[in-house]
Amino acid sequence: MPALSASINVARLNKTFVIPTGLFIDNQFVPSVDSQELIYALNPVTEEIICSVVAGSAKDIDIAVAAAREAFRTTWGKNVTGFERARLLNKLADLIERDAQDLAELETLNNGKPVKIARDVDIADSIQCLRYYAGWADKILGQTIEVDNKAKLAFTRHDPIGVCGQIIPWNYPINMWAWKVAPALAVGCTIVMKPSELTPLTALKLSELVVEAGFPPGVINTVPSLGPVGGAALAAHMDVDKVAFTGSTITGRKIMEAAAKSNLKKVSLELGGKSPHLIFESADLEKASGWAAVGMSFNSGQDCIAGSRLYVQDTIYDKFLELLVAEVKKQVMGDGLDEETAGGPLISKTQYDRVWGYIDSGKKEGAHLILGGEKRTGKGYYADPVIFTNIRPDMKIIFGPVLSVGVFRTEEEAISLANDTTYGLGAGLHSNDANQCMRVSSALEAGTVWVNQYIILNNNVPFGGKKQSGIGRELGSYALEEYTSIKAIHWNFGENIEWPL
Neighbouring residues of 357: CB distance < 8 A, sequence distance ≥ 6: none
Contact 296, 385 (CB under 8 A): yes
Nearest-angstrom CA–CA distance, 294 and 341: 14
DSSP annotation string for 43-62: ETTTTEEEEEEEPP-HHHHH
The one catalytic residue in 129, 304, 437, 474 is 304
DSSP annotation string for 358-391: HHHHHHHTTPEEEE---PPPSSS-----EEEES-
The one catalytic residue in 270, 327, 411, 481 is 270
Neighbours of 101 (CB within 10 A): 14
Peptide bond into 500 cis (omega under 30): yes
Annotated active-site residue 208? The verdict is: no
Annotated active-site residue 270? The verdict is: yes
Sign of CA dihedral 245, 246, 249, 251: negative
For 16-46, b/e burial (b = at least 16 CB within 10 A) is ebebbbbbbbbbebbebeebeeebebbbbbe
Nearest-angstrom CA–CA distance, 304 and 171: 9
Task: Tell me the residue length of the chain.
Answer: 501
Contact 434, 376 (CB under 8 A): no
Q: DSSP 3-state helix, strand, coil percentages of the chain (rounded to 5)?
A: 40, 25, 35
Q: Report the candidate in 425, 4, 458, 422 with the shortest Cα–Cα distance to residue 222.
A: 4
Could you give the residue numbers annotated as active site? 270, 304
